[in-house]
Structure 1
């Protein structure tokens, strides 16, 4: 299948996992950091549950691409805390670090830490030091991630649809670590393939479309960050956002993005479609 190159707008660039034109920012408030990451290119909103756009499933669905943290696993808080601990020696910058992390879910920790040093701490960072920091991040988070619960409905959905649809994982977690986590959770067997960093989300989606000869209209991507939405939009793939119920400070999503509370919602949508309905 021959694919057109992805459509990436100026500003937030999902493929590079960062910002263009924001390198000189010295924002320290976490909401400002989040706004820098996505506000230039996406019209963002935090709708209430009642305001969520109804979710539709296109006819001819053949594949679903899932993010991991916050979509399959309730692991976002664990990794947020790991960033707090990783930069505990810089208390005046921790909120900005966390804000950037939350606004850029799906971006690899390597790119996030590089950004933090260059734009928030304004300190040089050698590649050897970056490797040490990334290893420390893994030591702070991996054991906790292995013990977090699945997002509600994940196993039921995968059991119901892994033989009927081509299912994939696209994550910013390093490839080897991602495979280890999914193996530990007993989830890897449900997926045709799982992809982590150093590939970006845009690169992963393009590879899935190409290698499995899928048209964008046959695919849904489920994520929890604006970067996930941007990657799906780049390839013309339908995007559904998972917004955790009860989250008091959700990361803003582009206005009008379809949302679910958990994967049980997606299971209900799919069952409704099979029974003749297309909306919830």
Structure 2
């Protein structure tokens, strides 16, 4: 077994954009009061990697007590983009990720598997001039596990030779379901036991980790 492919989440893994999106959810819920705002922000925080539209659906059903309509979902989606797009265009990269991309482009196939809408993540990475690093860029729908499974199924290698790099339980769960390796980054996914998966607060150590495991 040797590492032969790397799949990256986007928010919190490539772009330091998670705080931007947390603020957007807070703004969307603010008209409904502090408790509603706190509940949506908490739900978002513990469900990183889940589509924003699933979060809107949850908010309406569990907090507002009614089903969300297609029109309301689309309106909130437009608001979310309005609140986040400019900041995401300017936000910093996660420390270490540029070094990883520069080192492994052309040596290992690199992919993006994001919970953000497909056209949005593709546009952002193009505008940030990062899209050229990747064989392909994938966003929702479908959900993260299915999306990762589709990427892995398209490759002539075993799932255990693919690394998923993520910052949320959703990313780890997808890697576990598909059977890939997993590397966790950021404050929200530190494992209870160091034996579960490698984890670091940023990606400055990822290059050495990959070098120790990559196919020669």
Q: TM-score, normalised by structure 2?
A: 0.92
After TM superposition, give the deviation of residue 99 of structure 1 in Å: 0.9
2:7 corresponds in structure 1 to 65
Number of residue pairs matched by the alignment: 212
Per mean C-alpha deviation after superposition, the further-off stretch among 253-262 and 79-88 is: 253-262
Report the Cα offset of residue 253 of structure 1: 4.5
Quick one: distance in 1 between partners of 2:180 and 2:150? 13
Q: Which structure's residues are more often helix, by fraction?
A: 2
Residue 224 of structure 1 is aligned with which of 135, 159, 167?
Answer: 167
The residue aligned with 2:209 is 269
- Structure 2, gaps ≥5 residues long: none
Task: Provide the residue aligned with 2:64 in structure 1.
Answer: 121
Tell me how far apart the structure 2 counterparts of residues 270 and 160 of structure 1 sit (CA, whole Å).
10
TM superposition shift of 1:151: 0.6
Q: What is the CA distance between 1:204 and its match in structure 2?
A: 1.1
Which structure 1 residue ranges, 4+ long, deviate > 6 Å from structure 2? none
Would you say 1:112 and 2:52 are equivalent positions? no
> Quick one: distance in 2 between partners of 1:264 and 1:271?
13
Instruction: Work out whether 1:142 is the aligned partner of 2:82.
Output: no
SS class of match (1:87): helix
1:85-129 deviations in whole A, cap 9, x for unaligned? 011112221111111101111111111110111112212321111
1:155-194 to structure 2, matched below 5 A, reads 155-194=98-137
Aligned-CA RMSD value: 1.8
Q: CA–CA distance in 1 between the matches of 2:190 and 2:41?
A: 15
Provide the residue aligned with 1:241 in structure 2: 184
Gaps of 5+ in 1: 1-58, 245-249
Once residues 215 and 271 of structure 1 are traced to their aligned partners in structure 2, the CA distance between those partners, rounded to angstroms, is 19
Residue 262 of structure 1, CA deviation: 1.7
Distance across 2 between alignment mates of 1:129 and 1:152: 37
Shift of 1:273: 5.4
